[in-house]
Structure 1
Amino acid sequence: MRNILHVDMNAFYASCEQAKNKNLKGKPVLVAGDPCKRHGIVLTASYEARKFGIKTGMPNWQAKALCPDAVFLKPDFDCYTQFSINMINILKEFSPLVEQFSIDEAWVDITGCEKLFGNPLEIADKIQKKIKNNLDLPCSIGISENKLVAKMASELKKPMGITYLPLSDIKDVLWPLDVHELIWIGSARERKLKSLGIYTIGNLANTPLSFLIELFGKCGRDIYYFANGIDLSPVRPYATDAKSFGNTITLPDDYTDTEDIKRALLCLSEMVGNRMRKHNFMGKTINLIVKDSNFKTITRSCSINYTVLTEDIFETSLRLFMENYPSGFKIRMLGVSISNLVKIDKEAQICFFQDLRYEKLKKLNTVVDKIREKYGFDIISRGLTLTGEIIKKTSPLSSMKNFDPRVHSYFKI
């Protein structure tokens, strides 16, 4: 029998802000857009703010009406990324099998680690206390025999809860819950299921498999298994079977300024490149994902020579943006990913004319990765992410065809 933990950080962005600024402790903190802009939304609300009924996705004006004393802060993604890295490093002290699911949650397979650290409840308690003591961040932990049920369990007690949910108890604990509480049941599927009289997870678990497959195709099989607590997937510490690496940022309000968008694309490219190099992959196809002010998703892709370079990812994603989105286009979410992956030095053929440039920039990227791993992600930054002034003075941004970020890359330590 496996013992799987799901560690879920509580009100992560707001908790990070409270951890780095002790004066915010106990105050209603909202990580959001500019509170003076009515169209900004709340990205994360601290638990002090949630007592007023404030929720993620709520417009700023509505949140301010509910809690006039709320502290509005713009998101600091570099800070949150560093806290996330530190959290994962703590988890790795208890097991080598750690799979990060998002910036604020991860699974840990502690099977076989009990003789070192105690039973699953004791291990969960040690992890929770160490994250709190070392990072000053709260988290909730779910424990079960598979990843799915462990994740569901971590949702049951927040904040700072620990829940052990064996598979034998899912009928009593999970089946009475609303069907939308099941992982990967979105609003469209929820409406479809409820229109057919399927209101709870238990209703879904007892629906014939063949009917769900007819209703949702291959996804119907997964939904049926999930409702019945069946999940055989392992905790994957390494992306050996990865199809792509990607990161997204939901912006605090509608962005139209090209300089702000470029800085966001560079931050995303940094994170994607770092993860790809860490797992020893190269990629060929750069994908740009954009959601507009109406949350309509538009994607564009472009294939280049195989690369591990942040510069190549940024240059291509920036070109895709400039070629496909008019000036003043309102952006709410940006995403960058790289796909068509191969293991480095095994299957990819590097363009002969790029060998010298490639090797020099690969060494530079590797050095930056090592500095960040040792001292923190935000210890070293490119000039473009700090201010647009350096780039404006050194490159003809009015003509993006002439802009080469491989030439105009500046670092500050």
Structure 2
Amino acid sequence: MKERQILHIDMNSFYASVELLDKPELKNKPVAVGGDVEKRHGIILAKNILAKNSGVKTAEPIWEAKKKCPDLIILPPNYEKYLFYSRKSHEMYYSYTNQVEPFGMDECWLDVTGSYGLFGSGVKIGNEIRKRIKRELGLTVSIGVSFNKVFAKFGSDYKKPDALTYISKENYKDIIWPLNVEEMIMVGPKTKKKLNKLGIYKLSDLALANPKMLKNIFGINGVKIWQWANGRDESPVKDYKFRNPIKSIGHGITCSSDLVDDFEVRRVFQQLSQKVSGRLIDSGLKALGVQIYIRDSTLSSMTLQGKLNYPSYSSLELTERAMELFKSKYRWKHNVRAVAIRAINLRDILEVYQVHFLEDVGEHEKKLRMERTVKSIRDRFGKDSITYGNLIGDLKMPDDGRDIVIMPNSFIQS
């Protein structure tokens, strides 16, 4: 059997690199893309190499990054632009294989095993893609080539920027095993601390550890990271037609300023519910329940959920149930900072359901018809072509376009 040829492609400093395409005068300056401090999204979202070399880290507060790098230039995010370049790169990948699995907007796995006869080895294909992205999009990528997905991702992290690293069955112990154990996917700070207490500091320590001991302490994930450290990863790169089963659909937001009463909370829930409703309809699904998440100004949070009267994708019914849940538990000791709503217990849109013979479902059916009509108008004329009167005005929601970015499922769930 032919050995698998897996690529992991990571676009270098993606957000910052895209911004510099339009701002070449900033090329030799430390630049970061960051949220709006005034709208309480004041963290570093991405940084270029110069900023990284000054100690700037992704997800740290902007004020902290400025202390490390006083000359740091902060640019606002433009998600539509990033999505455009992400799609362009994916089009390029599909010209080599139909097995392309995104891992965020700027990372992808490719299985090019079946492309060997047409385009050559994984290393040859990787180098060709690296040069094409630089030439055609003006961006750089780091690429890992290996016989499995985990090691391919290690390869793309190994050399940056604009580099390719080949990790084979012959050399992986030299490249992978000297790395710190926290470099492994799924090893976060808590897991690292537990592993260190066991005397496991390097990936070589993990690879040579007793898998039964790891299973007793970490469960099945302990066995999984031990297998990965030993190069045992058979997980496939998903075909472009593959879609993970949808178990829930949700949307949430950190508000640009605190919500101070039920009316403001309802407006945000309704706006979010319209996005959830649209995705339910596009996916051919209805929800039997609603889950809400609330975080207040002290950063305390709560999660509540409840059933709907009927399977529904109506944003009005989702909002109504969300507000019932909210009012039942929230006591307004503090203002609300962030909210989220999630449609749960999903069913096929055509699945029949039983009602009591005395129930009048006419109002429910009317709301469903109205939802489909509103969505069809928005699909044809744009999302702002029609709205509800109570949603006109400042909803205290950020409008930088981040809501258009839907991240894929994590690799560790595959």
| TM-score under structure 2 length normalisation | 0.74
1:239 is aligned to 2:243: yes
Residue 55 of structure 1: CA displacement? 1.1
Q: What amino acid is the match of 1:125?
A: N
Conservation of the 8 A alpha-carbon contact between 2:7 and 2:144: yes
Structure 2 equivalent of residue 103 of structure 1 = 105
> Contact 2:40/2:256 (CA < 8 Å) preserved in 1?
no
1:203 matched to which residue of 2? 205
Residue 212 of structure 1 deviates from its aligned partner by 0.5
Q: Match of 2:214, SS?
A: helix
Kept in 1, the 8 Å contact 2:378–2:386? The answer is no
Shift of 1:199: 0.6
Pairwise CA distance, 1:279: 5.9
What corresponds to 1:391 in structure 2? 391
- Counterpart selection for 2:231 from 229, 232, 252: 229
Quick one: distance in 2 between partners of 1:7 and 1:310? 38
Q: CA deviation at 1:256?
A: 2.6
Gaps in structure 2 of 5+ consecutive residues:
356-360, 397-414
Alignment of 1:328 onto 2:331: no
CA distance in structure 1 between the aligned counterparts of 2:269 and 2:24, rounded to whole angstroms: 28
**Residue aligning to 2:406:** none
Mapped partners of 2:205, 2:246: distance in 1: 34
Q: Which region of structure 1 is more displaced relative to structure 2, 179-188 or 82-91? A: 82-91
Deviates more, 1:184-193 or 1:72-81: 72-81
The answer for the alignment partner of 2:10 in structure 1 is: 8
Q: Contact 1:310/1:365 (CA < 8 Å) preserved in 2?
A: no
Match of 1:340 among 339, 345, 348: 345
Of residues 126, 129, 137, the one that matches 2:128 is 126
Where do residues 4-43 of structure 1 align in structure 2 (5 Å cutoff)?
A: 4-34=6-36, 40-43=42-45
Displacement of 1:197? 0.8
**Cα distance in 1 between the residues matched to 2:141 and 2:12:** 5
Q: Which amino acid aligns with 2:391?
A: I
**Cα–Cα, structure 1 residues 24 and 3, in superposed 2: closer, same or farther, change >3 Å?**
same
Q: What is the deviation of 1:208?
A: 0.8
Taking structure 1 as reference, are residues 281 and 125 closer, same or farther at Cα in structure 2, changes over 3 Å only?
farther
1:355-370 matches, cutoff 5 A: 355=365, 357-358=367-368, 361-362=371-372, 365=375
Tell me, in whole angstroms, the C-alpha distance in 2 between the residues paired with 1:340 and 1:108: 33
Q: How many angstroms apart in 1 are the aligned matches of 2:301 and 2:228?
A: 27
Asked whether the equivalents of residues 239 and 279 of structure 1 are also in contact (C-alpha less than 8 Å), the reply is: no
Change (3 A) 1:307 1:389: closer
Q: Which moved more, 1:191-200 or 1:142-151?
A: 142-151
* Cross-structure match for 1:376: none
Structure 1 position 4, deviation (Å): 1.6
Letter in 1 for 2:243: A
| Contact kept? 1:283, 1:306, Cα under 8 Å | yes
How far did 1:223 drift? 2.0
Q: Relative contact order: is structure 1 or structure 2 higher (C-alpha 8 Å, sep ≥ 6)?
A: 2
Q: Which amino acid aligns with 1:44?
A: A
CA shift for structure 1 position 99: 1.7
Counterpart residue number, 1:375: none
Secondary structure at the counterpart of residue 43 of structure 1? strand
- Residue in 2 aligned with 1:411? none
Structure 1 position 145 matched with structure 2 position 155: no
Aligned pair in 2 of structure 1 residues 141, 279: CA closer, same or farther (>3 Å)? farther
Stretches of structure 1 that go unaligned for 5 or more consecutive residues are 372-378, 399-413
Change in Cα spacing, 1:121 to 1:269, as seen in structure 2 (3 Å) is farther
- Correspondence for 1:158: 160
Find the aligned partners of 1:273 and 1:132 in 2 and give their Cα distance. 39
The answer to whether the Cα contact below 8 Å between 2:86 and 2:106 also exists between their aligned partners in 1 is: yes
- Aligned to 2:45, the other structure's residue is in SS state strand
Separation in structure 2 between the aligned mates of residue 350 and residue 125 of structure 1, nearest angstrom: 58
CA contact 2:270–2:316 (8 Å) conserved in 1: no
CA radius of gyration, larger in: 2
Instruction: Give the drift of 1:100.
Output: 1.8
Task: Give the alignment's Cα RMSD to 1 decimal.
Answer: 4.2
| SS at 2:158 equivalent | coil
The alpha-carbon distance between structure 1 residues 15 and 266, as it changes in their structure 2 partners (threshold 3 A), is farther
Q: Displacement, 1:8?
A: 1.7
- 1:322-351 deviation per Cα after TM superposition (whole angstroms, max 9, x unaligned): 8766463344xx766554345554x46599
Query: Displacement of 1:209 after TM fit?
Result: 1.0
CA, structure 1 residues 282+118, in 2 after alignment: closer, same or farther (shift >3 Å)?
farther
CA contact (8 A) 1:282 1:308 kept: yes
TM-score scaled by length of structure 1: 0.74
- Residues 1:299 and 2:303 aligned together: yes
Q: Tell me the distance in 1 between the aligned counterparts of 2:204 and 2:287.
A: 42
SS of alignment partner, residue 96 of structure 1: coil
Structure 1 range deviating more: 281-290 or 55-64: 281-290
The Cα shift of 1:297 comes to 6.3
Structure 1 residue 193, shift from structure 2 partner: 0.8
- Structure 2 residue aligned with 1:408: none
